[in-house]
Amino acid sequence: MTTFGSIWTAMAIAGGNTLEALITAWLLQGWSGGAATLATPLRVVKFAGLALAPGTMVSATVGVGSLVLGGFADASKFTSIWMTWWLGDVGGLLLVTPFIVLWGRSRPIDRTEALELAKLLLGTVAVGLIAFSPTVQQTSARSALAFLAIAPMLWAALRYQQRDTATAALVLSCFAIWGTLANSGPFVRSSLNDSFLLVLTFVISAAIPSLVLSADVAIRRRAENSLREAHAEVEARIEARTSELAQANRALEAAQRLVDGVQDHAIFMLDNAGNVTSWNKGANRIEGYASEEVLGRSFAIFYTAADQAAGIPAEALAMAAREGKDETEGWRVRKDGSQFWAAVVIEAIRDQADDLTGFAKITRDITERREGQARLEAARDQLAQSQKMEALGQLTGGIAHDFNNVLAVVLSNLELLRNRADLVPALSKLIDNSEKAIERASGLTQRMLAFARRQDLRPVPVDIPQLVGGMVELLKR
């Protein structure tokens, strides 16, 4: 059958083929995922449905109708010709299209994949030769050999990739068509058209399940690979976290050893409520509690009863939470009830989200330092008083010395006046009174010099009442 010489018939057939391509492409793009139409079993089934209809039917109808209208085919054979045309188009879509699409979208194969593909092709060629080759004697039992063609496609679907399944299906279909055209194989019938229809029906029926199975295996393989990668990633993360945890534990143990090694500081941790969560040896020594006696208890037990009643512990935690740190000094109570003066630091501990997770508390016994400071202050006061008295003594001594010199001058003048007392009779009595006053003043200066330690002290018996009476004049002045 030929359309040579009829341009209109040829144009109609070309138009029908074009409509087939446009309709099928449009339906594939909108209904079956476009270029990814072979990615899942459901899409493969949709692709097979679109290969069966309607594009291929439109092409077969337009083509056969053009032949009949052009006088190139008998109208009585319309159905058989249409069936042949339709199955040919369906076979092309189901066998050639997957081969082109899948190989066009696949990555370059490596050496290992090339060797695996070569094994598949060798097996497929061997099965094709056994089942369809004209070199094998045609017998009544030859029909059963056609079922061998299913084996390579199933093998490819289960073991290889989708492109390899499409390749095996195309190779086997070529062998089947070659053997049928050579009147060899299980599909040979009385007419070539019937033989061709039978072989197309067979290869299409075998190719569709193989492609569906291959798509399902590909999905499972991708899922397994994803699961394997996820598992490897989880294992890597677990290993990394385990390593980090081990490192953190080592650092924590080292820090704990360092904290336990501090004997002169009580270092311990508190939770948000102020309950003790850790306890070092220094705390045991300073506070007097063993760790099992204090863990889980409120740190308020270290405060005096007055401080507890005044809410000092809660205020300290609130200050640390608000300001980040609270530093105070005050009296603290040991387990045995004794008190000591302590320097205390409470520092808030926060996580990366800046949420409060607890407190770190450091207590140091500074009782000896405080007592030393008190003794130092007393010594300073005593020194200042001594210096004050020394200055006062120096001032008193200076005044007494100068006053004594004045008295000496006055006394000398009185002696001169006494030598001339006969000139004025009443003057002698005045001189006597003045000398008595000078004598009293001299005693006063002697006491002042003794206070200032300007005279050598000579221990002599003292009449206490007379001494006190003599001090009256000094105290009055």
Task: Look at residue 92 in the predicted model and tell me its pLDDT.
Answer: 80
Per-residue pLDDT tens digits for 419-435: 765 656 666 777 777 77
| Residue 164 Cα to chain centre, angstroms | 45
What strands lie across the sheet with 339-350, from one edge to the other? 266-270, 356-365, 339-350, 325-333
Average pLDDT for 350-359: 89
Integer Cα distance of 166 and 51 in angstroms: 15
Q: Name all contacts of 222-228 with Cβ < 8 Å and 24+ positions apart.
A: none
pTM for this entry: 0.49
Integer Cα distance of 344 and 316 in angstroms: 10
Residue 449 has pLDDT above 70, yes or no: no
Per-residue pLDDT tens digits for 73-108: 788 888 888 888 888 888 887 888 888 888 887 778
Per-residue pLDDT tens digits for 40-58: 777 778 877 777 778 888 8
The Cβ of residue 219 has, within 10 Å, a number of other Cβ atoms equal to 13
Average pLDDT for 226-241: 89
- Domains of the chain plus CATH, in order, are 7-231 (no CATH), 262-365 (3.30.450.20), 387-476 (no CATH)
Task: Look at residue 423 in the predicted model and tell me its pLDDT.
Answer: 55
pLDDT band at 331 (very low <50, low <70, confident <90, very high): very high
Task: Look at residue 308 in the predicted model and tell me its pLDDT.
Answer: 92
Residue 474 has pLDDT above 50, yes or no: no
Task: Look at residue 382 in the predicted model and tell me its pLDDT.
Answer: 83
Mean pLDDT of the chain: 80
Task: Verify cis geometry, omega within 30 degrees of 0, for the bond prior to 134.
Answer: no
Q: Are 169 and 202 spatial neighbours (Cβ–Cβ below 8 Å)?
A: no
